[in-house]
Amino acid sequence: MNKSIVLIEDDEDMSALIVEYLKKFNADVIAFASPVSATEYILQKHKEIDLVILDLMLPEMDGFDALKIIKETKDIPVIISSARGDLGNKIYGYEIGADDYLAKPYEPRELVLRIEALLKRVKKEEESICGFLIQNGGRSVMFDGFSIDFTKVESEIFMLLIKNREKIVSREQLIHGTSLDANSKNRTVDMHISNIRYKIGDDSKIPHYIKSIWGVGYKFIG
């Protein structure tokens, strides 16, 4: 099966080289020079994208800002491909969600190996829990044959609850166990829970899956 890859790279020669080279390894690559157009496309087509290759020195916005937009919404694997190869940039890239960091210049074959290793690392066996088909560690969740369009935070909260089913999970655990800001308020958690309930067709008054535990947090009861 072909891999669907988005390349964000404003160097036309570099972009063309990567696109042509990856075609030899069963990759369908859509290239963007504009990070704004690229992030808009990714947020619309995230279900169809396997991986993003991201340059940092871009017009319109810095590549790190593009990475934040991608990762805050959907947890798509991202490889940074940049001439900014110093340790400080690498550390910061990993801190905000990069899955790999490849400093230019490099051989295209190394990029292929990094892609294959990363996709192998993030791919996990399917598991069925309480009627939900979960793939790639929660990156994809399906119910009754339909894909549930969770945001990254919603997916993290859902997985934390479902992995601790029949146990009470406090709001504090949900904050610190996900990518929510450590200073998030309880109402922020409640808002995400409300969104999750809506997407899985659950009723807070007569819950089939997520039960509110007054004053504490939530419990998955499915």
Using only the alpha carbons of the chain, give its radius of gyration. Answer: 19
Q: For 131-189, how does the pLDDT look when each residue is reduced to its tens digit (9 = 90+)? A: 888 876 677 788 887 889 888 899 999 999 998 988 999 999 999 999 898 888 999 99
Cβ-contact 60, 36 below 8 angstroms: yes
CATH number of 127-220: 1.10.10.10
CA atoms within 13 A on the CB side of 85: 8
Residue 1 pLDDT class (50, 70, 90 cuts): low
Q: Is the pTM of this model over 0.85?
A: no
Q: Please state, in angstroms and as integers, the Cα–Cα distance from residue 206 to each residue in 130, 189, 209, 215, 221, following that order.
A: 17, 20, 9, 18, 12
Q: What is the pLDDT of residue 208?
A: 93
Tell me the domain boundaries of the chain: 3-122, 127-220
CATH superfamily entry for domain 3-122: Response regulator (3.40.50.2300)
